[in-house]
Amino acid sequence: MSNFFDKSDLVRKDAENIVSDTLKNCDDGELYLEDSKSESIILDDNKIKSSNYSSDLGFGFRAVSDEVVAYSYSNEISKDSLKSSSENLKSTIKSVKGTYNNEIPKSNKKFYSDINPIEQKTLNSKLEVLNKVNDYLRKKDESVKQVTANFLGEHKSVEIIRSGGEAITDIRPLIRFNVSVMLERNGRKETGVYGIGGRQGYDDYLQNDKWKNVCEEAFRIASVNLESKPAPAGEMKVVLGPGWPAILIHEAIGHGLEGDFNRKKTSAFHNLMGQKVASEGVTIVDDGTIDNRRGSLTIDDEGTPTERTVLIENGILKNFMQDRLNARLMNTRSTGSGRRENYRHVVLPRMRNTMMLSGNQTQDEMIKSVDKGIFAVSFGGGQVDITSGKFVFNCTEAYEIINGKIGSPIKGATLIGDGPSILKEVSMVGNDMMLDPGIGTCGKAGQGVPVGVAQPSILIDKMTVGGTKL
């Protein structure tokens, strides 16, 4: 655990006093301290292209009064700096009547261990893996023209000091390993990308030549795309494969169920609580408590223990995801969903691991039931317009379905749909729920946070496919 005070003229007691004094007439707020170390090592074009290490230390001080948030951050942990932040907050929040809510739930459960993944493996051994990846892929096939592989590792130590001196801490490891390969055959070029990761050490994901599976998968996706034909354009049936395609759930439904957009009534879901928003058999949860997953957190960035929040149960909208501010203003409790990218940013309600649970049908049944449609296996990024509810995502591996059979691979196309109605178009839910490989980052208001998704195969009766072939 980082001691944020041992190299500073600021002693813990003074910090506690400044926090208590600043927040005395406020409804909420805290001092958030963060010490993070991260590394990025990239092999590209046959060479170690870069090896970066970064260390970042700072605090963010927040005061909340009714709906108003005042925030100030600095990367200098000192008495002067904290005092000047305090003055800044006081000048915005002129509240005299707030009642600070001291209640914050406690839990002893931890969902990952206190390891530092960066220190666990030497730089030399990381370089060795990257070089092996490069050699393995380039020897595999002469169509391999470019290989990029990289390690990203992070070790983040946080402490939250609340009014009255209560302190809550967490240590968060996170790693990611990615391989991208470009193939060229008969003048055509295509890329395939695959990655794995989570809140464990590198070797938990890579030992026993597990890195080879990542290479094989990236190569397979690129090979499939070399044979791809132009994608169709227009409305049709879409079968989604299990796992990572659940970013559809994340974009289409997840963002619209975040507390802030619903308190502000700018989400297309704000007046649908308790109503049917999905077909029967569709249950969606947002879970921060799965061991070692990329989106898991022992506590959120306000100190609330995370939980498994049921968002939609058998088609009915049950809960929004809440941080403390939006929960208080909506007369409910925090679901442990308050997150921030780092100390430079305010807390917002965010997703953790968003999952659609398994049903009874098989992927085979779904494919067989489709006369004309597409089968989407993997996606790149997605995006949503919260207000209109329209969302998109981009296929990186997809096939046409003709008369109940999987046909040729098709080129990357955007799929577009309407969030509030898409889950009503789900006519089959598979029995094959799968977690994604641990690679997702969600962006909101300029802040990126690590997230996970999961789903079984599903059949959507109607979606617009944005190909070029009419």
Partner 1 sequence: MIKDQGFLEAKAAYCLDVAKKIGASDASVTIGHSISETVNFRNKNLDESNRSDGLAFSIDTYIGKKKSSISSSNLLDENLYILIEKCYETTKITPEDEFNSLPDKNLLADKLKDLNIYDNTHIDNDKKIYYLKELENIASEDKKIINTESSFTEKKTNFILANSDGFCSGYKTSSFTTSCVAVAKDENSMERDYEYSSKRYLDDIKDPQTLGKLASHQTIRKLSPKKIGSEKLSVIFDKRIAKGMLSAFASAISSSAIARGTSFLKDQIDEQIFSNSINIIDKPDIIKGLGSKNFDSEGIKSETLNLVKEGVLKNYLVDTYNGRKLNLQSNGRSGGTTNLYFENGKQSYEELLKTNSKCIYITETIGHGSNLVTGDYSVGATGFLVENGEFKYPINEITIAGNFKDMFKKISLANDLDFEYSTNSPTMLIEGMTVAGK
Report, in Å, the least distance between residue 176 CB and partner 1.
19
Report, in Å, the least distance between residue 33 CB and partner 1.
13
CA dihedral 137, 142, 146, 148 (to 10 degrees): 0
215 within 8 A of 435, measured Cβ to Cβ: no
* Rounded distance between C-alpha atoms, residue 140 and residue 391, angstroms: 38
184/203 with CB nearer partner 1: 184
* Rounded distance between C-alpha atoms, residue 253 and residue 250, angstroms: 6
At 239, give phi and psi (nearest 5°). Answer: -100, 125
225/334 with CB nearer partner 1: 225
199/339 with CB nearer partner 1: 339
50/360 with CB nearer partner 1: 50
Classify 314 as helix, strand or coil: coil
Report, in Å, the least distance between residue 433 CB and partner 1.
26
188/210 with CB nearer partner 1: 188
* Tokens encoding 334: 């925090």
Report, in Å, the least distance between residue 143 CB and partner 1.
13
* Tokens encoding 55: 């260390």
173/417 with CB nearer partner 1: 417
Single out the residue of 170, 161, 180 nearest to residue 221, CA to CA: 180
Report, in Å, the least distance between residue 363 CB and partner 1.
25
Report, in Å, the least distance between residue 432 CB and partner 1.
27
Provide the 10 A C-beta neighbour count for residue 340: 22
CA distances in angstroms from 163 to 84, 100, 343, listed in the order given: 18, 8, 18
Extended beta strands in 128-212, E state: 144-161, 167-185, 188-198
Report, in Å, the least distance between residue 357 CB and partner 1.
27
The C-alpha angle 334, 336, 338, rounded to 5 degrees, equals 90
73/111 with CB nearer partner 1: 73
What's the chain's Rg over C-alpha atoms? 24
